[in-house]
Structure 1
Amino acid sequence: DGSSQLSAYERKRLKNITENAKFFAALKLHEVSARLRQIATKRQSHATKRAKPRKAEDETVRRRSKRLQRVEPSGVPMPETPAQPEAEEYPQVPAGPLPMIPEDQVGNSTSTEDLLTTWMRISEMKANGTEKRTPDMTRYQDGLNSMVLSEDNVRKVVKFRVCSMAIHPSESTILVAAGDKSGQIGLWNVNCKSEEGARAFLPHSYLVSCMHFSPSNPAHLLSLSNDSLRCGDVTRAVFDEICRSEESFSSFDFLEENASTAVVGHWDGSVAVVDRRTPGTSSELLADIGFTRTRTVHVHPVNKQYFVAAGSVDVCVYDVRYLKSKGNKPVSSLRGHTKSVASAYFSPGTGSRVVTVCADDKLR
């Protein structure tokens, strides 16, 4: 029996997965999801009556300008106007916790179980060795110089365009998470060379703009979409909902090493502070920092109370301890950008520098 070789933790996890599967089966979420997908993809065809053609003798000759006839004054026909693409529609997922079941899975799947078990196993190994190491630049440069790209390391992980990505911190196994524009999150075990090494889940209704594995517990994958911040917990096989808002989220970063709190940027320019330990799905604080939009937020690697926010032409550093709903003053403002700023990040290790990416084709 293969279960006798599992640890007590893994047996408990498998029991949790079985109980969760029974719970979500009772909720009939799969049937609701299937109906939502049918509604989103089904196109209603409306029959239209064709008007009877008029007889030639009843028609009066109408004069039409060359513009209406789509003819240039010289008599050369104008090119046809290209058809506008139809707006794409994606299924809407319900609020609240969602089971960690691949979108296309029917029944039980050993390949999905193997992928989730691998994620849990390498997370346990990382949690047991969380001591910080001094960055070895020589080793890092040697690793970059030895990189090659082969066909075995290319995989279709999600259905649509990839908008965000996160890499598990494990040193033994390469586990990659990718979020696409429809709300899908794909998990890929790069070390598994078969097609069974990748699975796609649907925890969001909109574009997944930002993802991070928890630095203290990589069994948790936090993902951000326009309307929600979720935590994928592989030990319980559930995507929990942490925060939900009517305003559109843009990015987030952890304020503490234990990933219990986070600062979240909004496209309308404000920032929010979220505490995962607080019941409910609302933020602790919504602060107006004077931006017209906030594209990225990044927390200082050493002094976690500081974060840098990048907006239209604004790049400012704030102290989260002094944030309030209105009237916030930055600790420092980085000026000189003449066009829109795409992102701003502290340097790793010390955080003594900030790099910005601007639409004027310059890095600062």
Structure 2
Amino acid sequence: MTTVTTFYGASTRISARLTLKRLRKAEAEAEESTTAKPPEQDDKRQSAKKRKQRADENEAGGEPTVKQEKEESYRSVIQKNIAEKMAFLESLGVDELKVSLVPPPVHTPAKPPRPPKKPKQEVEHVGARKSLRLQNKPAVSENLGSFYQEPVKERIKPGPLAFKEVAGSGIDEGGRSCLCEDIVKEELSQVALEPLSREAEGFLDRMMDVNVDDVVVQKVVAARITAMAVHPSLTATLVFAGDKLGNFGFLKVGTGENVVETYTPHDAGLMCLRIRPEEPQKIYSASYDDTLRCADIERGIFDELYRTDRDVGVMYIDWLLNNTMIAAHGNGQVSFLDPRSQEKKAGMYQLHSRKVRTINAHPTNSWWFLTGSTDAMVKLWDSRMMSKRSPVPLGTLTHNRSCSAAFLSPVEGNKVLSTSFDDTLRICNINQATGEMKQQITLKHNNMTGRWLTPFRAVWVPGCDELFLVGSMEYPRRIEVYSSSGSLLYKFTGEGLASVCSIVEVHPERLVIAGGNSSGKLHVLIEP
């Protein structure tokens, strides 16, 4: 027998025995509870076993259960409802409506086959572009062009021109001018050879009697009027005008219908028109196209009297008492011409540094003449003292800006009337012995006509040293009458004068005053 030695104490052994007893007691109670079950639990177990047996029998082919019967009846009801609803929908024709609402299928055409790709062209490699400026090279003049090129106007052929060759508007089908009619020639020949001396007060009273509302307004030339002349006829009222395009026209005022005719004897601005009482059948015209022409009514031609070098131009003309013609040019020169000789040209002298706008012969001294230039100088000259190198004037008058016109008083020639862009009209006295000029009066007058109007030209009343006329920029539009002492005596104003008359001319014998504007219209005031 083997002896087991333990290391537990007495108390420990007692508690272990007690625990063992309790466990054995619990096991015995559990066995008793299982063996002695109540009858109710046995009945429940028996009924459950029976139900299970019946279910197994049904699955094996026995009679259906109540649950299965209920499921089958419920399914049959659903199927019946579905069949009824489908029959109702078929009676409504819903399927046909659905087909009609659906749009027919669109048959898209088959896409055409793609063309074969073009073979890529080899691009030539070009270096970066550089301007001539970046290359420090000058510009090539051949590559420089303008966006607008003015049409080149054909120059009029040199030599005489028949009226019908250069006829414009107002000429009859046969090309015959009304100036060539015998009746008109007779009227034009009736002129006063001796200049009329007018008394200032009497002429002023007559001017005041003129009704401006009866003014004759007529368009004569196409463009801005740059020159005018009133024919000295005692019976016919005839006013000639020239414009900046070289057109030459006239207005014959009659008791019935007025007559207007236009010609184009020049291809540049017509700057001066002059008529001598000794030659009433001739109208002289000077132009920027370097020619001096004479409209000969007897012969029916525009005769060419003189042609300068190119781009010199003829600005103004007059006659000395010895019948020598003097002409002013655009380069500051003055020519002495003899129309009776074949060469015509007698001499040319440089009298100004810039354009000579006007030239005027002295009325009593056969050798003196006056020039007004855009170099702001007015000079009095003696034709006997001309020098090719440095001609010396007898007297000078200086403006602050360009001088547009300068004229000697028509009777004695002892006064000078000048118009300038410095907004002044100046009157100076002349020493008749030495020709020295001394300024007497300066009038403030707005002469800033701008580029669209012809510059003003203050002119003496023919036969009177006391009155002069000039256009005005003031409103209402007017033609002003001044005294030689600088007083404003009268203004022609009215509805008929609706524009600026830059140029004013007066009939040498009758009270006929004509004004020209920038649209080619003439305004003619006639004594009733």
TM-score, with length taken from structure 1: 0.69
Assess, with a 3 A threshold, how the Cα gap between structure 1 residues 324 and 158 changes in structure 2: closer, same or farther. same
Are 2:295 and 2:303, in contact at CA under 8 Å, matched by a contact in 1?
Answer: yes
* Mapping for residues 153-192 of structure 1, pairs under 5 Å: 153-191=216-254
- For residues 262-316 of structure 1, the C-alpha deviation after alignment (integer angstroms, 9 at most, x for no partner) is 1111111111111110114x52111012433312111111113111111112111
2:370 matched to 1:308? yes
Are 2:275 and 2:282, in contact at CA under 8 Å, matched by a contact in 1?
Answer: yes
2:314 matched to 1:249? yes
Assess, with a 3 A threshold, how the Cα gap between structure 1 residues 183 and 145 changes in structure 2: closer, same or farther. same
Assess, with a 3 A threshold, how the Cα gap between structure 1 residues 89 and 142 changes in structure 2: closer, same or farther. farther
- Work out the CA distance in 2 between the residues paired with 1:329 and 1:95: 35
* Cα distance, 1:242 vs structure 2: 0.8
2:267 matched to 1:205? yes
The structure with higher relative contact order (CA 8 Å, sep 6+) is: 2
2:350 matched to 1:271? no
Amino acid at match of 1:273: F
- SS of the residue 1:131 aligns to: coil
Partner of 2:188: 123
Are 2:180 and 2:298, in contact at CA under 8 Å, matched by a contact in 1?
Answer: no
TM-score, with length taken from structure 2: 0.49
- Work out the CA distance in 1 between the residues paired with 2:172 and 2:179: 16
Assess, with a 3 A threshold, how the Cα gap between structure 1 residues 94 and 106 changes in structure 2: closer, same or farther. farther
- SS of the residue 1:154 aligns to: strand
Are 2:381 and 2:395, in contact at CA under 8 Å, matched by a contact in 1?
Answer: yes
- SS of the residue 1:121 aligns to: helix
- For residues 200-258 of structure 1, the C-alpha deviation after alignment (integer angstroms, 9 at most, x for no partner) is 1111111100001122111110010011111111111111111101212211112137x
- Work out the CA distance in 1 between the residues paired with 2:153 and 2:182: 30
- Work out the CA distance in 2 between the residues paired with 1:344 and 1:95: 31
Amino acid at match of 2:325: A
Give 2:422's match in structure 1, choosing from 350, 360, 364: 360
- Work out the CA distance in 1 between the residues paired with 2:178 and 2:357: 36
Partner of 1:239: 302
Partner of 1:133: 196
Moved more, 270-279 or 290-299: 290-299
- Work out the CA distance in 2 between the residues paired with 1:152 and 1:293: 35
Are 2:189 and 2:233, in contact at CA under 8 Å, matched by a contact in 1?
Answer: no
* Cα distance, 1:133 vs structure 2: 3.0
- For residues 19-78 of structure 1, the C-alpha deviation after alignment (integer angstroms, 9 at most, x for no partner) is xxxxxxxxxxxxxxxxxxxxxxxxxxxxxxxxxxxxxxxxxxxxxxxxxxxxxxxxxxxx
* Mapping for residues 263-302 of structure 1, pairs under 5 Å: 263-280=326-343, 283-302=345-364
- SS of the residue 2:348 aligns to: strand
- SS of the residue 2:345 aligns to: coil
Give 1:323's match in structure 2, choosing from 366, 386, 392: 386
Are 1:289 and 1:326, in contact at CA under 8 Å, matched by a contact in 2?
Answer: no
- Work out the CA distance in 1 between the residues paired with 2:181 and 2:279: 15
Are 1:285 and 1:324, in contact at CA under 8 Å, matched by a contact in 2?
Answer: no
Moved more, 245-254 or 225-234: 245-254
Amino acid at match of 2:357: R
Amino acid at match of 1:124: S
2:399 matched to 1:341? no
* Cα distance, 1:88 vs structure 2: 6.6
Corresponding residue pairs, total: 275
2:170 matched to 1:108? no
- Work out the CA distance in 2 between the residues paired with 1:249 and 1:325: 20
Q: Is there any run of 5+ residues in structure 1 with no aligned partner, and where? A: 1-83
Are 1:265 and 1:294, in contact at CA under 8 Å, matched by a contact in 2?
Answer: yes
- Work out the CA distance in 2 between the residues paired with 1:222 and 1:193: 28
Identity, in percent, stands at 26
Moved more, 265-274 or 326-335: 326-335
Are 2:178 and 2:184, in contact at CA under 8 Å, matched by a contact in 1?
Answer: no
Assess, with a 3 A threshold, how the Cα gap between structure 1 residues 146 and 192 changes in structure 2: closer, same or farther. same
Q: Is there any run of 5+ residues in structure 2 with no aligned partner, and where? A: 1-146, 427-528
Are 1:186 and 1:200, in contact at CA under 8 Å, matched by a contact in 2?
Answer: yes
2:257 matched to 1:194? yes
- For residues 312-339 of structure 1, the C-alpha deviation after alignment (integer angstroms, 9 at most, x for no partner) is 121110011222333211011123x221
- SS of the residue 1:155 aligns to: strand
Are 1:157 and 1:186, in contact at CA under 8 Å, matched by a contact in 2?
Answer: yes
Partner of 1:37: none
- Work out the CA distance in 2 between the residues paired with 1:303 and 1:340: 27
- Work out the CA distance in 1 between the residues paired with 2:263 and 2:353: 34
- For residues 140-174 of structure 1, the C-alpha deviation after alignment (integer angstroms, 9 at most, x for no partner) is 21232122344771111112211110000122221
Partner of 2:486: none
- SS of the residue 1:200 aligns to: strand
Assess, with a 3 A threshold, how the Cα gap between structure 1 residues 252 and 333 changes in structure 2: closer, same or farther. same
- Work out the CA distance in 1 between the residues paired with 2:221 and 2:214: 17
Give 2:276's match in structure 1, choosing from 214, 221, 226: 214
- Work out the CA distance in 2 between the residues paired with 1:278 and 1:114: 28
- Work out the CA distance in 2 between the residues paired with 1:205 and 1:96: 14
- Work out the CA distance in 2 between the residues paired with 1:261 and 1:175: 26
Are 1:122 and 1:172, in contact at CA under 8 Å, matched by a contact in 2?
Answer: yes
Give 2:211's match in structure 1, choosing from 148, 157, 161: 148
* Cα distance, 1:118 vs structure 2: 4.8
- Work out the CA distance in 2 between the residues paired with 1:358 and 1:245: 27
